[in-house]
Amino acid sequence: MVERAEPAPWDRPAPGRSTRLFRAFTGLAFLCALGLALVTWVTLSRPFDPGQRSAPAVRPDPAAVRAAAALPRYPGSVLVLTYHGVSDTDRAGSTLSRELFGRHMAVLAAAGYRTVRLRDVEDLLARRPVRLPPRAMLITFDDGQLTDWTTADPVLKEHGFTAVGFLATGKIVQPGTPSYYLSTRQVEDLAATGRWEFGSHGDGPHDLVPVPGDVAAPMPNLILVDGKRETIGHWRARVRRDLARSQRFFRETLGHPVRAFSYPFGKAGDSGNDPRIAKELPALLRRAGFGEAFVGEDVPTGPVDALTAGSPRWALDRIGVRSTTSVADLLEMIRAAVPMPLPRDLSALPWTGDHAACRRDASDLRVTAGGYGSCLLRGVNTSKWTDYRMTASVSGIDPRTSAVIAVRDGAGTRHRGRVEVVVGAASALVRERDGERRPTVLGRTPIAPVAGARGVRIEVRGIRLTVSVAGGRPLRAAIDPRLGEGGLTFEIAARERHTLTYRKPTLHPLRAG
């Protein structure tokens, strides 16, 4: 090393300075970059944890409340509603505005609806003794959207309602993560309110997938895997895995598995493309620890029944509510869903004419038509009218006019058949229809002429039918088991304009047979 001529380090002058302007510029640039970095840092680190919004102030429309109060009651039934999101900013068809949701709840609360817990539902299905409020309801929320926490819960709290959240568990995020769905912490918080119970809505991706010839919900279908239809074994393993993952989520988050399930897309096994699925899916659900499963995510396109002791455990109906469902629509759907107890005086019901004029006259029902006409019950849930005896006497039958009384009429139910009792001037017959097919005659009897009204007695008990027409021998027949429920109609078949009078049409309940 050479001897350095330079001064000792501690005596060295400060290093050469760049100009004041340059230094100021560098410093400023760095400070701006630092500011930007800090802003980004805050944006990235800030936890996404929205609080609850207060319930919107809504005053229920008095007319709606009156209409709601007039809804039928059926002791031992539970009305089940399906909601998804509740938000003023989300435009999804399944998302209600906060105001509309508030009005729904307010009207239901004013009409005396009280919520029940899943445990009550289980007891009801198991036919264990359970005390249900006179108007019992179960509010469910599918998917587990964030709005369950932010907007729906405050409204429920206001009305003292409880709810069931069916979580698409794969979509539930870690706390603080920006998401459209709940976080595990919000699930815990909701559970801690005591208002919320949870069920599973499946775990896997909540998307329609290709199935042979279509796209459909993955759970109840054999889907296409690599362009080939999967085997039933593959399907079984896939669904079992999905259910197990979902239950694991609940064990980890809530500390216990859940009992209730709601089918993704509301599609139960019978909607699938393989008959074995309809049979096996409930078994898989049961094995995964579930006790009941709900269908019905959307506005019902077919009949919906409120949940009762006899409801099918693996396909429990719900009324889907969407952004377009006004309070009036909701009440209409509820009316159609709540079973009407077996009435005694049939003439007092709101009959509507179909190609006929229906008129109530004291305790008689007068049907006038110039051809074939019917008196129907619209928007009445007759699903509980299974075992009864109908008595009436008919006047006005002549050789050109027959009386037709239909039982197990499929309008508004899950089948399209009916059983008709035709009473003419000289004979009576019983025939069964199923859809558009030609009717099958189940029995026929000549009847002796009688003076005045002719008494008719129809007994329905399960699949057994007994018809007694005054002046004829009793007709007994077995009904197709598919025609398990349905209402009654009073009809006229006339060559020219005529009126039939059904005197004192009355129902007497019978013990189930």
Partner 1 sequence: MTRRRPRIPFGGLPWTARLVSLGALAWVGVICGMIVWHVSVKVAYLRGNLLLSAYTVLVSSYVISRFALAAFYRPPRDAGIVPSVAIVVPAYNEGEAVARTIHSCIGLEYPDDKLEIVVVNDGSTDDTWEHMRKAAARYPKGRVRCVDLGGNKGKRAAMAAGIRATSAEILVFVDSDSMPAPGSVRLLVQGFADEKVGAISGLTHVRNADENVLTRMQAARYYVSFQLLKSAESVLGAVTCCSGCFAAYRRAAIAPLLDAWEHQRFLGVECTYGDDRALTNRVIKAGWTTRYDARAQAWTDAPDRYRKFFRQQLRWKKSWSREGPLLLAHVWRSRTRALPSIAVQTIAGLLSPLVVLYSLVTPIAGGRFPMIYFLGLYLVSMGYALTYRMLRDDGMWIYAFAGTFFYVAFSPQLLWAIARIRDGKWGTRDAPASAPPFAQRPVQVHGAAVNDG
Q: In the set 5, 11, 213, 436, which binds partner 1 (CB under 8 A)?
A: 11
CB of 387 to partner 1, least distance (A): 58
Least distance in angstroms from the C-beta of 134 to partner 1? 45
User: Is the Cβ–Cβ distance between 500 and 403 less than 8 Å?
Assistant: yes
Among 40, 54, 326, 440, binds partner 1 (CB under 8 A): 40
Residues 246-265, interacting with partner 1 (CB under 8 A): none
Least spacing, CB of residue 26 vs partner 1, in Å: 7
Minimum Å gap between C-beta 39 and partner 1 is: 10
Tell me if 46 contacts partner 1 by CB under 8 A: yes
Tokens 């096994």 found at: 269
Residue number with CB closer to partner 1 (45 or 89): 45
512 in contact with partner 1 (CB under 8 A): no
CB of 8 to partner 1, least distance (A): 7
| Number of Cβ within a 10 Å radius of residue 262 | 30
Beta carbon of residue 165, minimum distance to partner 1 (angstroms, whole number):
20
Please pick, from the candidates 5, 21, 44, 192, the single residue that binds partner 1 as defined by CB under 8 A: 44
Beta bridge partner(s), residue 409 = 487
State the virtual CA torsion across 85, 86, 89, 94 in degrees, nearest 10.
40
Give the nearer residue to partner 1 in terms of CB position, either 48 or 414. 48
For residue 35, the tally of other CB atoms under 10 A from its CB is: 10
**Minimum distance, C-beta of residue 381 to partner 1, in the bound complex (Å):** 47
- Site map (CB under 8 A) of partner 1, residues 91-120, x = contact: ------------------------------
Of residues 27 and 371, the one with the C-beta less far from partner 1? 27
Helix extents (H) in 57-203: 62-69, 98-110, 118-125, 147, 153-159, 184-193
Beta carbon nearer to partner 1, 23 or 228: 23
**Binds partner 1 (CB under 8 A): choice among 25, 28, 49, 444:** 49
Q: Which amino acid is at 345?
A: D
Within a 10 A sphere around the Cβ of 395, how many other Cβ atoms?
A: 15
Q: Which is nearer to partner 1, 185 or 240 (CB)?
A: 185
Q: Which is nearer to partner 1, 40 or 326 (CB)?
A: 40
Which listed range, 16-24, 163-171, 228-236, 368-376, lies at the site for partner 1 (CB under 8 A)?
16-24
Q: What's the rounded Cα separation, in Å, for the pair 487 and 383?
A: 8
* Calpha distance 328→376 (Å, rounded): 22
Spatial neighbors of 3 by CB under 8 A, at least 6 apart, are none
Residue with tokens 């619209």: 378
- Binding mask 131-170 vs partner 1 (x if CB under 8 A, - otherwise)? ----------------------------------------
Cα 184 from chain centroid (whole Å)? 26
If the CB atoms of residues 13 and 227 are measured against partner 1, the closer one turns out to be 13
Q: Is 89 in the site for partner 1 (CB under 8 A)?
A: no
37 binds partner 1 (CB under 8 A): yes
42 near partner 1, rule: CB under 8 A: yes
Residue type, 65: V
Q: How many residues sit in the footprint of partner 1 (CB under 8 A)?
A: 32
Tell the smallest beta-carbon distance from residue 208 to partner 1 (Å): 27
Using the minimum distance from each CB to partner 1, give the nearer residue, 4 or 131. 4
Cα distances from 401 to residues 395, 422, 423, 491, in angstroms, run: 10, 10, 9, 11
Binding mask 17-36 for partner 1 (x = CB under 8 A): xx----x--x---xx--x--
Site string for partner 1, 174-213 (x = CB under 8 A): xxxx-------x----------------------------
**C-alpha angle 56-171-118 in degrees, rounded to nearest 5:** 65
Convert 178-200 to b/e letters by CB count within 10 Å (16 or more is b). eeebbbbbbbebbbeeebbbbbb
The one-letter amino acid code at 358 reads C
User: Which two structure tokens, joined as six digits, stand for 309?
Assistant: 């002791």
- Nearest by Cα to 155 from 109, 91, 192: 109
441, β-bridge pairs: 431
**How many angstroms separate the CA atoms of 119 and 113, rounded?**
18
* Count of C-beta atoms within a 10 Å radius of residue 483: 23
Q: Residue 512's Cα: distance from chain center in Å?
A: 27
Picking from 214, 217, 221, the residue whose alpha carbon sits closest to that of residue 235 is: 221
Q: Does 1 bind partner 1 (CB under 8 A)?
A: yes
Amino acid identity at 490: F
| Contact status: 14 vs partner 1 (CB under 8 A) | yes
What is the chain's Cα-based Rg? 33
User: Of 144 and 291, which CB lies nearer to partner 1 in the complex structure?
Assistant: 144
Closer residue to partner 1 in complex, CB, 9/227: 9
Minimum distance of partner 1 from residue 142's CB (angstroms): 25
Q: Are strands 214-216 and 209-211 parallel, antiparallel or unpaired?
A: antiparallel
Candidates 25, 32, 47, 50; binder of partner 1 (CB under 8 A) is 47
Shortest spacing between CB 43 and partner 1, in angstroms: 10
Q: Could you list the residues that contact partner 1 (CB under 8 A)?
A: 1, 3, 8-11, 13-15, 17-18, 23, 26, 30-31, 34, 37-38, 40-42, 44-47, 49, 173-177, 185
